[in-house]
Amino acid sequence: ETTPLIINGLSAARAVLGINVPGIDGDFQLILTFYADEGLFGAMATFIDVENWAEDGPLVEAITNSFTFETADLQPCNHAPVASVGLTPIQPGELVSGLRLDYDVTGAFSFVASGEETVLAVVSAEDGRADLVLDLRDADGLLLDSIDWGLDGDSEFLEFNPVAGQEYFLYVSEYSGERAVYNVALVELGAASPQLLETVSAELSLNDDYAYSWNNVVDEPFLIIVSGPVELDLVLEQISAGGGNAQYSDSGVGGEPELIVVLPVENQDYQFAISEYGGQPGPITIQVYGLQFR
């Protein structure tokens, strides 16, 4: 149950939960406070020891009551509604992010081909536990392709050569019928693609990574694809600012491309490491395609 409040001019509600901490005597509470103002929402959580409330309470109340919305700093929300409510139209160069599958619900997208250039459809999970499935059907409902190569958290993608003027449908589901949040994107492939921003040819050295950096000066989503000959089983990794692993792609086998969709938060250099699973040397091609939030 929640208690309605007005905090700093904002509509709010507070819930207080009693918490038992194993192995520790005492009373503890988790105080959840939710704020709302003209479509904006915020939340604050505080964990307290009830015994020390007399000392800590005023500080907790002061912090809670100081909450404000800094609207100038808010990032635009690109999250779309649940995609299963009708068909969501999508065209090459577009990315729809933050879509939600709610238990056995299927996301459905429509695409009308303007030409016959090869099109790549990508679905990427925002949750590392999601095992997504991507299906392609024609206007008559005939299944043209179904992809479920990746494991939990991996992207699924397929290429197809459309017929100009024909309508195609993409369907996204979760293998176990679980809840999942995901992004879906389309790009035209090839040197003439209007979405292609850069192509780099490089060589992998024996037992070594190839470092690649992309300066996303336009501050928009992008897709990076790395490909090589059939004897190379490639691995693509996005390196975080702290040097760790931000995203990882190794769903394909020898000769199959690896790709990552990046949703930037600001203009910056994005670092990637490309390697071969067994450490073998060989030629690789890196392509970067620009996307726009739909």
pLDDT bracket for residue 268 (50, 70, 90): confident
Per-residue pLDDT of 52-63, as tens digits, reads 777 777 777 777
Angle at 73 between CA 33 and CA 62, to 5 degrees: 35
pLDDT higher than 50, residue 83: no
For 79, phi then psi, to 5°, come to -75, 135
Convert the pLDDT of each residue in 126-168 to its tens digit. 877 788 999 999 988 899 999 988 777 788 999 999 999 999 9
Among residues 117, 129, 128, the alpha carbon closest in space to that of 160 is found at 117
Fold of 88-188: Jelly Rolls (2.60.120)
Question: 186 near 91, Cβ under 8 Å?
Answer: yes
Kindly state the percentage of the chain with pLDDT values over 90. 45
Q: Is the pTM of this model over 0.85?
A: no
Query: 88-188 and 196-293: same fold?
Result: yes
Contact 96, 116 (CB under 8 A): no
What pLDDT is recorded for position 85? Answer: 42
Residue 186's contacts (CB-CB under 8 Å, 6 or more residues apart) are 90, 91, 92, 93, 94, 111, 119, 120, 121, 122
Look at residue 241 in the predicted model and tell me its pLDDT: 77
- What percentage of the chain reaches a pLDDT higher than 70? 87
DSSP assigned state of 52: G
Determine contact, residues 135/115, Cβ cutoff 8 Å. no
**Cα–Cα distance for residue pair 222/193, rounded to 1 Å:** 14
Beta partners for 235? Answer: 275
Q: Give CA–CA dist 277/187, Å, rounded.
A: 27
The answer to whether 167 and 191 are in contact (CB under 8 A) is no
Position 71 scores a pLDDT of: 52
Q: Which two tokens stand for residue 281?
A: 């040397």
Three-class secondary structure of residue 217 per DSSP = coil
In this predicted structure, what is the pLDDT of residue 38?
57
Q: Residue 99 forms beta bridges with which residues?
A: 182
- C-alpha angle 199-206-153 in degrees, rounded to nearest 5: 60
Question: Of 2-11, 179-188, 213-222, 248-257, which range is least confident?
Answer: 2-11
For domain 196-293, give the CATH number: 2.60.120.380
Task: Read off the pLDDT of residues 225-240 as tens digits, 9 standing for 90 and up.
Answer: 999 999 999 999 999 8
Res 260 pLDDT > 80 = yes
pLDDT of residue 280: 93
Q: Where are the domains of the chain?
A: 3-73, 88-188, 196-293
Mean pLDDT of 100-123: 90
Q: Strand, coil or helix: what is 50?
A: helix
Please provide the average confidence, as pLDDT, over all residues in the chain.
Answer: 83
User: Does residue 26 have a pLDDT over 80?
Assistant: no
pLDDT at 76 over 60: no
Determine the average pLDDT of the residues in 198-205: 96
For 246-264, what is the mean pLDDT?
86
